[in-house]
Amino acid sequence: MTIIPAIDIIDGKCVRLTQGDYNQKKVYNENPLEVAKEFEGAGIERLHLVDLDGAKAKHIVNWKVLEKIATKTSLKIDFGGGLKTDKDAEIAFNSGALQITGGSIAVKDRDTFEGWLEKYGSDKIILGADVKAEQIAISGWQETTSLNLFDFLADYTAKGVKYVICTDIAKDGLLQGTSVELYKKIRTQFPDLQLIASGGVTSMADMEALIELDCYGAIIGKAIYEGKLSIEELVAL
């Protein structure tokens, strides 16, 4: 399973939110590049970089942070947050993203998202499926839709989506464990989907449970920043 640390960006700084709430923000480092270099130095190869300003503004904002990390490290970066137009996608790829994640756009502007799949290929595009009680949430989690997660996944796997990041918002940032039962259901119904678990990964027991489910990857954020999990033990795992 691929270990994917997360760096979330607001005002160019490395932050974490709790359950997607912009009012529950904690700044961990003024310099995201420093954090990325620490990850790289410990043997990490992948990075999940989220433009939280972009998610709110509904267009890419922190592409310079992406560019800096992409040019000054060898990390393979998936980038998301506010990607709404072909121009946003182009800027992200030109700034060094290996993959981009589309969540809200996959709900609100299917033509554009499907156009990305066609133009860049399914290896480059990750479907962002953020959920509250198995309903899809969008717009930086500010809005819950009536879309059922499993219908959403069935629809997009039929369109060729191979990678999905699924975040259970109820778990995110609380350091109380991850949604093993939810991921088990996804793995059972969509065994060929490359599932990246996100939200609440706090302990080695969580990691072992996700490995047991044969998840493709796990995104880990606050647990690293709060010292619950060390990069070294994750790399060793």
The residue annotated as part of the active site, out of 8, 53, 172, 206, is 8
Whole-number Å distance between alpha carbons of 198 and 217: 9
The residue annotated as part of the active site, out of 51, 53, 130, 206, is 130
Q: Give catalytic status of residue 8 as yes or no.
A: yes
Going from the C-alpha of 183 to that of each of 27, 85, 217, the distances in angstroms are 29, 30, 12
Taking phi first (over 0 means left), then psi (-120 to 50 degrees means alpha), and beta for anything else, what does residue 16 get? Answer: beta
Helices (H), the chain: 32-41, 52-57, 63-72, 86-94, 104-108, 110-120, 149-158, 180-189, 204-212, 222-225, 231-236
> What residues have CB less than 8 Å from 150, skipping those under 6 apart?
134, 185, 186, 189
Nearest to 39 by CA among 78, 1, 80, 73: 73
Please, are residues 1 and 218 in contact by the beta-carbon 8 Å criterion? yes
Catalytic residues: 8, 130
